[in-house]
Amino acid sequence: MDFGYFLRRLDQGSHIDLNKEAVIYKDERVTYGQLRDRAYTLANAMKGLGVAKGDRVAVLLRNCTEWFDIFFAVASLGAVIVPVNFLLRAKEVEFIVNDSGASVLFVGEGLLELVDSKKENTPGLREIVCIGNAQPADGIHAYSSLMSQSQALPVAETIDSDDMFLLQYTSGTTGFPKGAMHTQGTVAWNSFHQVGDFEVSFRERYLCVPGLCWVAGLHDFTLAALWMGGTVVVVPSGGLDIGDMLGLIEREKIKRVLLVPTIVKQLIDYPERDKYDISTLESVLTGAEPVPVTVIEAFHRLMPRTALLQGYGLSEGPTIATYMKKEDAVRKVGSAGKPVTNCELLIVDESMNRVSPGEKGEIIIKSPATMKGYWNKPDATREAFSGEWMHTGDLAEYDDEGYIYIRGRMKDMFISGGLNVYPAEIENVILKDPAVAEAAVVGMEDQRWGEVGFAVIVPKEGDTVDVEAVNALCKSELGAYKVPKKYIVREAPLPRTASGKVKKFALKEELERA
């Protein structure tokens, strides 16, 4: 199965009404018929630029309707889409363009400063296409001009499910990003399981909050909703206002939304939440990092008609690898649920033996939605796989009923006095303090113990953190070797990746320089 079939299916008279709204963004309301025609028009324009099967096409855009034109046009041509995070710096964009070997780059007019427009440092980049109202500089194509000169005709390209389709660069919690190679088939499998596991139908009204350049944006529910003929409402990138989001949920009768934990916390603390009628909202999905139990409990207390469901996934796939059923959301508070239908998941020790309930181990995954490897990195690919099993580097444990609890990253773990210390466990305790907004614990070198924990704490706006009280809390709930040896309170938010994960390596570098 390939995503070019999505357009062909619309041509062939599927169950989807071509007049139904597929994508809503600000004042734009794009029907399925318009989406099909726009994608076909762009596909033919791209052929005119020399884009052929297998060519890499980089996309540097904030959320917009053109994202969907590009995605389905690339799919129908058998080319490879390379999403680029709009929060990156120019050198980081340059790295991904060169590393992927992209020959064409689509860029929003507000992001042109991040692009090597003269192609001096990106010699493989043939064409740059600018999306926006401004007249681009010489040598850069205007998206509107390309579209006006092309026609909405189907493209004839033979595509196989094993053809590479997506290079999804990891968000880089441990250093430089790597391009996870996904095929037409792995992307399709990632969407299909969501249809069944989450009961996505043509009635779906999904609010897409994350950037479409991230897996959480495009690959969590967005594609599944479109495949089934539902409607996706897209939120503009950057500066999310909780009131605006609640207003959208009310006006568009949203059923489902995915929010990273930091946004969930803001939603709980939002003082005017009850002004909005969000009775259509059945569930809020969250992940990216373990969500404190206190946050989950507060959510269900304040919004009892909406289920907060924690899950777990990764860029390497599946992007949703575990999920929690609504009826278990409160009973199994703190759990990320159980594996999705297309994913085998084990928690194992260093010898690949499954650990016992309550014992920490590494998550390994086998799934038709898993990447084929890392682009141009055979050593990293070999390290990631043991046969068909992919090592995630994530720590977890499971209970007697098989429910999974995420316990952080293996590389976050440090050893103090010969004992393993898992930062996520300590962070969850610190977050019980009502004045704490964010907390991160990293292992720092120590002459006596080898490593000791340093806790970095960000207070809630208007609150003051009592370090002695936090330390007493840790001492009351943790073994002595786990209690941080130092607490640093700062106003600046913790450094995070695009998907919301704390950049522990960057935080550790800051502490080492201090």
- pLDDT tier, 174 (very low <50, low <70, confident <90, very high otherwise): very low
Percent of the chain at pLDDT exceeding 70 = 97
- Residues 376 and 283 occupy one common structural domain: yes
Kindly state the average pLDDT of the residues 351-370: 95
**For 268-314, how does the pLDDT look when each residue is reduced to its tens digit (9 = 90+)?**
999 999 999 999 999 999 986 667 778 888 898 999 999 999 999 99
Q: What is the DSSP letter of 410?
A: G
The answer on 370 and 305 residing in a single domain is: yes
Beta bridge partners of 256: 206, 283
For 193, residues 6+ apart whose C-beta sits below 8 A from its C-beta are 318, 320, 340, 341, 342, 343, 369
Separation of alpha carbons 385 and 396, rounded Å: 18
> What DSSP letter does each residue of 171-183 carry, written as one string?
--SSSS--EEEEE
d(CA 222, CA 67): 12
Can you give the three-state secondary structure of 380-445, one letter per residue?
Answer: HHHHHEECCEEEEEEEEEECCCCCEEEEEEHHHCEEECCEEECHHHHHHHHCCCCCEEEEEEEEEE
Are residues 391 and 449 both part of a single domain?
no
* pLDDT greater than 70 at residue 66: yes
CA 481, CA 466: separation in Å to the nearest integer?
21
**What stretches of 96-150 adopt beta strand conformation (E)?**
104-108, 127-131, 140-142
Q: Per the domain annotation, does 190 fall within a domain?
A: yes
pLDDT band at residue 118 using 50, 70 and 90 as cut-offs = confident
Q: In which residue are the tokens 């324009």 written?
A: 45
**Of the listed ranges 321-325, 369-373, 469-473, 494-498, the one predicted with least confidence:** 494-498
Q: Is residue 63 part of a domain?
A: yes
- Both 196 and 67 in one domain: the answer is no
Question: Within this chain, do residues 128 and 146 fall inside the same structural domain, yes or no?
Answer: yes
pLDDT band at 508 (very low <50, low <70, confident <90, very high): confident
E-assigned strand segments in 160-282: 164-169, 179-183, 205-208, 231-234, 256-258
Predicted confidence band at 498 (pLDDT cuts at 50, 70, 90)?
low
Q: According to the model, what pLDDT value does residue 173 have? A: 46
Predicted pLDDT at 171:
60
Q: Are residues 291 and 202 in the same domain?
A: yes
Q: With a cut of 70, say whether residue 371 has pLDDT above it.
A: yes
**Domain tally for the chain?**
3
Residues 152 and 243 in one domain: no
pLDDT at residue 412, as a whole number: 82
Report pLDDT for 290: 64
- Name the pTM for this structure: 0.83
SS3 207: strand
C-alpha 80/C-alpha 487 separation (Å) is 46
Residue 443 CA to residue 452 CA, distance in Å, equals 5
Domain extent at residue 48: 4-19+28-159
Average pLDDT over residues 112-138: 90
pLDDT value for 112: 93
Tell me: do 249 and 392 sit in the same domain. Answer: yes
Residue 236: CATH number of its domain: 3.40.50.12780
**pLDDT attached to residue 451:** 86
Q: What is the average pLDDT across 381-389?
A: 93
pLDDT at 437 over 90: yes
Which pLDDT does position 354 carry in this prediction? Answer: 96
Whether residue 391 is found in the same domain as residue 432? no
CATH number at residue 489: 3.30.300.30
281 plus 396 within the same structural domain: yes
Predicted pLDDT of residue 288: 67
pLDDT reported for residue 156:
78
The answer to whether 457 touches 488, Cβ cutoff 8 Å, is yes
Tell me what the pLDDT averaged over the chain comes to: 91
Q: Computed from CA positions of residues 190, 191, 196, 197, in that sequence, does the dihedral angle turn out positive or negative? A: positive
Average pLDDT of span 73-79: 96
Q: What average pLDDT does this structure show over 388-402?
A: 94
For every residue of 470-481, DSSP letters joined together read HHHHHHHHS-GG
Q: Write down the pLDDT at residue 3.
A: 75
Residue 172 falls inside a structural domain: no
Q: Is residue 170 assigned to a domain?
A: no
Are residues 498 and 435 both part of a single domain?
A: yes
Per-residue confidence (pLDDT) for residue 294, from 0 to 100: 81
Section 396-409 average pLDDT: 91
Q: Has residue 173 been placed in a domain?
A: no
In a domain, 492, yes or no: yes
Query: What is the Cα gyration radius of the chain?
Result: 23
Higher pLDDT, 4 or 38: 38
> Is 168 within a domain?
no
In a shared domain, residues 241 and 302: yes
Residue 408 is predicted with a pLDDT of: 77
Question: Of 448 and 375, which is predicted with more confidence?
Answer: 375
